[in-house]
Amino acid sequence: MLRSILVALDDTQGAIVARDAAIAYARRSGASLTVAVVLDRPHTQDEHEAVPLGAGAFKRQRDAKLTEQAEAEAQAALRACAQAAEGLDYRALRLEDAPGPALVKAGATHDLIVIGRDSTLGRETHDGVAPVIETLLRDGARPLVVVPPDATIRAEGPILAAYDGSAPSREALHLFALLGLAGDSPVRVAAIARTQDAAQAMAEEGCAALRQHGVAAEPLASVGGDVAGLILAEAEAIGARALVMGAFGGSSLLRMLIGSTTDRLLHQARVPVFIHR
């Protein structure tokens, strides 16, 4: 059962939709909600940065401006959250460290981390994907919900789970079921292999993992080599409201190679992605 949620706030569209998704999860489940703003003091006040002789005053002015800007953005995000979460009790958290370490540490005391796919948190994104997402997958212990900026948050509708038989894939299904995130929605387990029989067997295995936790699941078996493309097409075809997956696809989670199945799905999915390593 979902008990606690952490969501990262900033002014990007993905972060705004992620905030609304986290609020909706908290309202439906009764889980406690923590909203976090990241002030990133190491970035705004880098005492070890080398500067040319005589440029100290310029650096101090620049750091003061960055600090003021970060504070103003944090306050604006918190005010907007208060309006969106009206009537819901939640805790606001100010994180001073860099985004990755700060959210890894804060996330350790929560069941789920929700983050916008394009959330900058004061840093540049990598082709529209927040770099902190890779850090959270690599170093964090909690599953993520990565929310695209154009996602529509729905409480009802089918959920698509991508299953490849790997340990991360099994763990993702297990945690998704334990946290009760499916609600009453059916979960369709998509498996892709070289033969229909192999894909069907794999999909049935994933369904069995969900059914043992009381989650209604149906197999979707496909044959092909473009795993990400088939999963994205299936999500569109069934009108999925969410995608569940482990970090899989033949690439090391430590590398998150561009073009890998995991990376492509995170970049291109049009619905919130529940992912665990």
pLDDT of 251:
39
pLDDT of 55? 52
Residue pair 223/193 in contact by the 8 Å Cβ criterion: yes
Each of the 277 residues of the chain gets a pLDDT tens digit; together they read 999 999 999 999 999 999 999 999 999 999 999 999 998 776 555 554 444 555 555 545 555 575 687 788 889 999 999 999 999 999 999 999 999 999 999 999 999 999 999 998 877 666 788 889 988 988 888 999 999 999 999 999 999 999 999 888 999 999 999 999 999 999 999 999 999 999 999 999 999 999 999 999 999 999 988 889 999 999 999 999 999 999 754 433 333 333 478 888 999 999 999 999 7
Give the pLDDT confidence score for residue 140 in this predicted structure.
Answer: 86
State the helix-helix crossing angle for 196-211 and 167-178, rounded to 10 degrees.
40
Instruction: Give how far the C-alpha of residue 32 lies from the chain's centroid of Cα atoms, to the nearest Å.
Output: 18
- Model confidence pLDDT, tens digit, residues 148-179: 999 999 999 999 999 999 888 999 999 999 99
Contact 93, 37 (CB under 8 A): yes
Q: What is the pLDDT of residue 259?
A: 43
- Residue among 50, 53, 46, 44 at smallest CA distance from 73: 44
Q: What residues contact 204, with CB distance under 8 A and at least 6 apart?
A: 219
Helix (H, G, I), strand (E, B) or coil at 136: helix
